[in-house]
Copies of this chain bind each other. A is one copy, B any other.
Amino acid sequence: MQQTLTSIPLTAIGFAKTDMPDEEIARCRRTLVSEIIIEPQYESALTGIEAYSHLIVLFWMGRTPPFENVLLHPSAEASAPRVGAFAMRRRNRPNPIGLAVVDLIQRVNNRLIVRRLDAYDQSPIIDIKPYDHYDTFTQLRVPAWSNSAPRTP
């Protein structure tokens, strides 16, 4: 039942723009301000987006090596269990689509100024969706190795 969706090409609706080198982006992400440049023919599809404070951005992680289906220690600690690609947020995935929840700082015509986008410079943008209350879940269970904690408002 393996299906390869070759008949459905993805279209870049725009691209990411940042001066930050690829290898610095993960570390600087929380404060990183980037631009999303939307192709002119899709500018009108941004109409009304300014009403949202947060957006979900899907982007193509083209500079990722081909998928290796291996189990890895998800954090730097070798004591963490080895887990699979779908239990991690690392870039090496069967379909290298990145997902970032970003702050929309400003829209200027076909350009969105955003904070917290971890797309590399020139990454193709695939979709932008408004982040709404129904995307917010606060009662989470996550593994100990994730080292994340509930955000303090």
Contacts and interface: CB of A to CB of B under 8 A. Distances in A.
B87 A69 contact: no
A20 interface: no
A15 to B, nearest CB: 7
Size category of the binding interface on chain A:
35 or more
Interface residues of A: mostly helix, strand, loop or mixed? loop
Contacts of A86: 13, 42, 45-46, 49, 127-130
B62 A8 contact: yes
B140 A101 contact: no
Most B Cβ at <10 Å: residue of A52, A129, A141: A129
Interface of A: 1-6, 8-13, 15, 39, 41-42, 44-49, 51-54, 56, 58, 60, 62, 69, 71, 74, 81-89, 93-95, 97, 99, 101, 124, 126-143, 146, 148-151, 153
Q: What are the 6 tightest A-B residue pairs by CB atom distance, in nearest-first order? A: A48-B83, A51-B143, A48-B87, A45-B84, A53-B141, A47-B84
